[in-house]
Amino acid sequence: MKFRSSTLKRVAVLALITGFGMGSANADEITINVNPENPYTDVEVYSSGGAYEILVRATEEDGDPVVQFYSDLAPSQFYFDNDDQPSNFIDENDDGGGGISGRDSLLQDTLDAGNYTIRVASYDFWGDDEESETATYTLTYTGLNSGRKSTGNSLRLDKAGTITEKSNVVSCTPGTYTFLNGGSTAETANIQSFVYTLLVNGKAVSTLSTDGFKSVPAHLFPTIAGNMAGTATLTGATWDLKGMSNYSATCQVYAVQSSGNTQSLTNTVYDSVAIAEANAKAQAWEDQRSSATAANFTKDMREMRKRLAARQP
């Protein structure tokens, strides 16, 4: 029996598997890798309506996957077992599929036509509020097609934005885009709104909309207690992290124009304390390796001298 612990809100870096246009309704096996640094993966699919089946299988006896299913895009916040789910949540499962461990995850039902997201995580992360296990799963589905179906306008990400850090001030740019009119005709983008979510040490600390969430539903983004103040415009977002130390920072950018939307992640930056700590750990490892090498060399020389001395008449 699995015991659930209290819910812990965390946000992880999003790994997104996606495509555009028509795909197969009987997908080949998709390999899903999870670990503490990347505890879940999102796979975008679409349905023409009707029955579907989603199966996530463990590839090892002790593997334990969980599957969640959302309409349209999955929320940027990860929702754990016993959390109040967002409005676009459809279903989830942790051990309905049997398999080699009896822990495979299975979802079956019927859908309306539209775009959907399959989110795969480990039980350790979802149910026990612990670090994700390091494991490989296989995802298969029927009655669904790979990617997102363009039913209208869309946005194409041409170049992801970047994030910089200087004297505890963090700034990110939104990247560059192309507007696809009708889902196919390329035009110069004229973005209506950006939503910037700042992740510090993997946790969302601030979500800022350039138009007060008029163009984008707020439920797609995490509700953050004590949402950190910052500035957000169509050219970028800035936060002052004064008082924080030893951190990493990443920015998630959600863009929308005329019902077309897309989201992406910037690079990750580290403050001077985090960089110094990482360098110190690297130097300590190098010193330890050098010391071990020297000790082994000394031991080998002693053994060689003993062998040579034994050969003397």
| pLDDT tens figures, 80-97 | 998 888 999 999 999 887
**Interval 220-242: pLDDT, tens:** 888 898 999 999 999 999 999 99
What is the rounded average pLDDT of the residues 181-204? Answer: 92
- Within 8 A by CB and 6+ apart from 288, the residues are none
183 touches 151 (CB < 8 A): yes
- Within 8 A by CB and 6+ apart from 286, the residues are none
Q: Is pLDDT larger for residue 301 or for residue 19?
A: 301
The answer to whether the predicted template modeling score (pTM) of the entire model surpasses 0.85 is no
Say yes or no: domain 154-272 is CATH 3.30.70. Answer: no
Ordered by start, the domain boundaries in the chain are 15-146, 154-272
Q: pLDDT value at position 310?
A: 62
- Tell me the average pLDDT of the chain: 84
- Domain 154-272 in the same topology as domain 15-146: no
Looking at the predicted structure, is the pLDDT value of residue 176 above 80?
A: yes
Looking at the predicted structure, is the pLDDT value of residue 105 above 50?
A: yes
Q: pLDDT value at position 7?
A: 32
Looking at the predicted structure, is the pLDDT value of residue 18 above 80?
A: no
Say yes or no: domain 15-146 is CATH 2.60.40.10. Answer: no
Q: pLDDT value at position 253?
A: 96
What single DSSP character describes residue 173? -
Looking at the predicted structure, is the pLDDT value of residue 126 above 90?
A: yes
Looking at the predicted structure, is the pLDDT value of residue 15 above 80?
A: no
DSSP string, 215-272: SS-GGGS---TTPPP-EEETTEEEEE-TT--S-EEEEEEEEEETTEEEEEEEEEEE-H
Phi then psi for residue 141, to 5 deg, are -150, 155
- Within 8 A by CB and 6+ apart from 68, the residues are 74, 79, 89, 91, 92, 118, 119, 120, 121
